Amino acid sequence: MLRIAVQKSGRLSEDSFRLIKECGIHFNNGVGKLKASSHNFPMEFLLLRDDDIPGYVADGVADVGIVGLNVVEEKEKDLDIVVKLGFSKCRLSLAIPRNEEYEGLKMLEGKSIATSYPKILGSYLKKNGISSDIHEISGSVEIAPSIGLADAVCDIVSSGSTLLSNGLKEVETIFTSEAVLVAHKGLGAEKKKLLEQLLFRIRSVQNGSNNKYILLNAPNHKIEEIASLLPGMRSPTVLPLATEGWSSIHSVINEDRFWEIIEKLKEAGAEGILVVPIEKMIL
């Protein structure tokens, strides 16, 4: 049985549960329950506050966990970071009152900075030769300057709107984060095998969402040119259409190259292009 720690409710929860579901792992989590298990994969869920996840995984109470890299870094626990998950992307930034001119980090020398991330901030300031008074608070960091608690803040930002509405402006990004899968360092052989299975499924889901299945029609004399634009998994599938002299070409293309390739395909004479999502992709 692989025990996974997941945030009970918060900014990681929805996407964590969605990923697990996309991996084909079903489970029921009753309202308010702290534990759940799956009936189709040997997995047990611990539903926790995100701050507790690195500690639980480091201690081996949970075998793996889904948590923000920011929390992993701050907690300084000895863990394996197995894979980046691509959601809950955010950054840890320094912000100062909006009406102040930013003159570089040196202006924070001797000033007080409120944060929930004293370790990440501390090592950033040290690396940059700045000594400030770090004021650790656990929530609502962004109001600290307006109530006279600190001169600046170091907080999680995604769009920056919370900072703006509190009269602050972002001046330096000190850490970038996303959700990661972490694992206990000393997993036994059985658990390692389950982790490999989970990882295989996660990669299939990730490959699927990074790629699209493409179908198009083309006159036969254009097949070679079009096939060269579509690398596909091996080579494109070519099927004859009922209309003489025409074929249907199927392949897979990467999301990042999508628009660039579509343009070239049209120029090469492709018609009736369909692009459909891929649920899972096994390489």
Residue with the CB atom nearest Zn ion in the bound state: 51
70 binding ligand ATP? (CB under 6 A): yes
Considering the complex, state which of residue 33 and residue 193 has its C-beta at the smaller distance from ligand ATP. Answer: 33
Site string for ligand ATP, 193-232 (x = CB under 6 A): ----------------------------------------
Residue with the CB atom nearest ligand ATP in the bound state: 68
Q: Which stretch binds Zn ion (CB under 5 A): 24-32, 46-54, 116-124, 263-271?
A: 46-54
Cα distances (Å, whole numbers) of residue 28 to 32, 83, 212, 217: 12, 25, 31, 45
Pinpoint the alpha helices (H) of the chain.
13-22, 53-59, 69-75, 118-127, 161-165, 189-210, 223-229, 258-267
Please answer whether residues 85 and 66 qualify as being in contact, where contact means their C-beta atoms are separated by less than 8 angstroms: yes
Using the structure block, give the residue that is written with the tokens 């602050």: 168
Least separation in angstroms between CB 139 and ligand ATP: 7
Pairing of strands 246-254, 237-240: antiparallel
CA atoms in the 13 A half-sphere facing the CB of 146: 13
158 binding ligand ATP? (CB under 6 A): yes
Considering the complex, state which of residue 65 and residue 68 has its C-beta at the smaller distance from ligand ATP. Answer: 68
Q: Which stretch binds Zn ion (CB under 5 A): 50-58, 122-130, 203-211, 255-263?
A: 50-58
Which one among 10, 24, 60, 104 touches ligand ATP, defined by CB under 6 A? Answer: 10
Binding partner of residue 88 among Zn ion, ligand ATP, none, CB cut-off 5 to 8 Å per kind: ligand ATP
Considering the complex, state which of residue 88 and residue 251 has its C-beta at the smaller distance from ligand ATP. Answer: 88
Least separation in angstroms between CB 272 and ligand ATP: 39
50 binding Zn ion? (CB under 5 A): yes
Least separation in angstroms between CB 263 and ligand ATP: 33
Cα distances (Å, whole numbers) of residue 261 to 112, 211, 222, 270: 52, 13, 15, 11
Give the contacts of 171 (CB within 8 A, at least 6 positions apart). 93, 94, 95, 96, 102
- CA torsion, ordered 84, 62, 60, 50, to nearest 10 deg: 60
Please answer whether residues 162 and 93 qualify as being in contact, where contact means their C-beta atoms are separated by less than 8 angstroms: no
Binding site for Zn ion (CB under 5 A): 50-51
Interface residues with ligand ATP (CB under 6 A) are 7, 10-12, 49-51, 68, 70-71, 88-90, 156, 158, 177
